[in-house]
């Protein structure tokens, strides 16, 4: 069944030629520089919103998660961006898709109350809101990882905020190691399920008191990845001549790449392995969002293979930008 068009948005980094629209008005309390059709709010020179003294103070004084979500939501809404319908989280080396947004407003994470800052090369630490492929979108240019020292609540806080802003869908992407010998670097995989080993070991993204305003205490995860969105993605990939595999994503905490024994364990249960995604998907489903997950195979993670490194991850992401962007935009156009 086709999806109905509606207002909303996806946060995303864009690839390819920029598609520009009219400039959104800057927040009255910020000195925004107009750059390449975007309103940019960057650097410490930007004025601080009078209602928010600093991210650190907010994090310490607002113990209630719901209140912190509402504070971040109000801050973002004050910039006058469109109301997003789709949220997009872009993995390592994949953030440039947001450059294609029209009528875009870009806000550094450092300015948003409660948002952490990504410390990983290849993640730009910006939220971009605008239009892409006929949809209002909110795009995260970079994500947060448990291995960076952030709590699971911090890792998933942006997903909570994007849901509060109006996002009904979450498109989540990542760079992953392929566990199948017959796969190749550059392959795309639609995630049909995941194994959240970090959560199973006790570091779960829903651990702690539950706020019923955000979701039920014991959400089901059998349908974590939306089957209808998966069918749409495969239809789009076929039309575009792109190979889109289907498989299970195995999340480990990182930051080390896996040992041979760990890879043998992972390959017994999954098709790709990485260090993200599962916590965000759990929180998205907790909040009632529909999820499409896509992994880019940036290296073959084989026990007897070549040791992985982050440089090849970024290189593979760069090479895959056109087909990855085409797939995401094709699915967006079908919502």
Catalytic residue among 13, 55, 92, 267: 92
Catalytic residue among 11, 15, 175, 270: 175
Q: Which two tokens stand for residue 191?
A: 């995630």
276 is catalytic: yes
275 is catalytic: yes
Q: Which two tokens stand for residue 135?
A: 């949809």
Catalytic residue among 12, 55, 104, 123: 123
Catalytic residue among 55, 96, 267, 299: 299
102 is catalytic: no
Catalytic residue among 77, 153, 310, 319: 310
45 is catalytic: no
310 is catalytic: yes
Catalytic residue among 225, 276, 286, 325: 276
Give the C-alpha separation, 68 to 322, whole Å: 37
Residues 6+ apart with CB under 8 A from 161: 69, 72, 73, 76, 112, 114, 115
Catalytic residue among 52, 147, 315, 333: 147
43 exposed, middle or buried (CB, 10 Å; 0-12, 13-18, 19+)?
Answer: exposed
Give the C-alpha separation, 56 to 71, whole Å: 13
Catalytic residue among 40, 148, 258, 280: 148
92 is catalytic: yes
Q: Do the Cβ atoms of 77 and 63 come closer than 8 Å?
A: no
Catalytic residue among 27, 145, 194, 286: 145
- Beta strands 244-251; 169-178: pairing state: unpaired
Catalytic residue among 275, 278, 289, 308: 275
- Beta strands 290-300; 102-108: pairing state: unpaired
For the annotated catalytic residues, the residue numbers are 92, 123, 145, 147-148, 175, 275-276, 299, 310
């Amino acid at each position: 069944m086709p999806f109905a068009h509606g207002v909303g948005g996806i946060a995303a980094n864009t690839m390819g030629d920029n598609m520009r629209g009219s400039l959104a008005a800057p927040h009255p309390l910020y000195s925004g520089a107009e750059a390449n059709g975007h309103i940019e709010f960057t650097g410490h020179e930007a004025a601080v919103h009078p209602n928010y003294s600093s991210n650190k103070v907010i994090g310490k004084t607002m113990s209630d998660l719901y209140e912190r979500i509402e504070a971040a939501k109000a801050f973002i809404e004050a910039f006058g961006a469109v109301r997003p319908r789709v949220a997009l989280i872009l993995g390592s080396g994949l953030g440039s898709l947001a450059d294609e947004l029209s009528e875009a407003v870009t806000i550094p994470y450092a300015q948003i109350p409660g948002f952490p800052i990504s410390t990983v090369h290849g993640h730009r630490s910006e939220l971009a809101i605008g239009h892409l492929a006929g949809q209002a979108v909110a795009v995260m240019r970079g994500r947060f990882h448990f291995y960076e020292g952030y709590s699971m609540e911090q890792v998933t806080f942006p997903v909570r905020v994007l849901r509060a802003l109006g996002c009904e869908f979450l498109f989540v992407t990542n760079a992953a190691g392929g566990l199948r010998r017959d796969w190749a670097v550059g392959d795309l995989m639609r995630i049909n399920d995941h194994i959240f080993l970090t959560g199973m070991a006790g570091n779960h993204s829903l651990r702690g008191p539950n706020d019923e305003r955000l979701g039920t205490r014991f959400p089901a995860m059998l349908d974590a990845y939306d089957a209808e969105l998966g069918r749409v993605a495969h239809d789009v990939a076929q039309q575009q001549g792109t190979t889109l595999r289907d498989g299970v994503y195995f999340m480990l905490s990182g930051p080390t790449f896996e040992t041979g024994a760990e890879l043998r364990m992972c390959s017994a249960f999954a098709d790709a392995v990485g260090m993200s995604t599962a916590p965000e998907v759990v929180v998205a489903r907790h909040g009632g969002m529909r999820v499409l997950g896509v992994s880019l195979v940036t290296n073959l993670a084989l026990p007897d293979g070549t040791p992985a490194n982050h440089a090849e991850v970024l290189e593979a992401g760069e090479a895959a930008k056109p087909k990855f962007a085409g797939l995401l935009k094709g699915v967006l156009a079908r919502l």
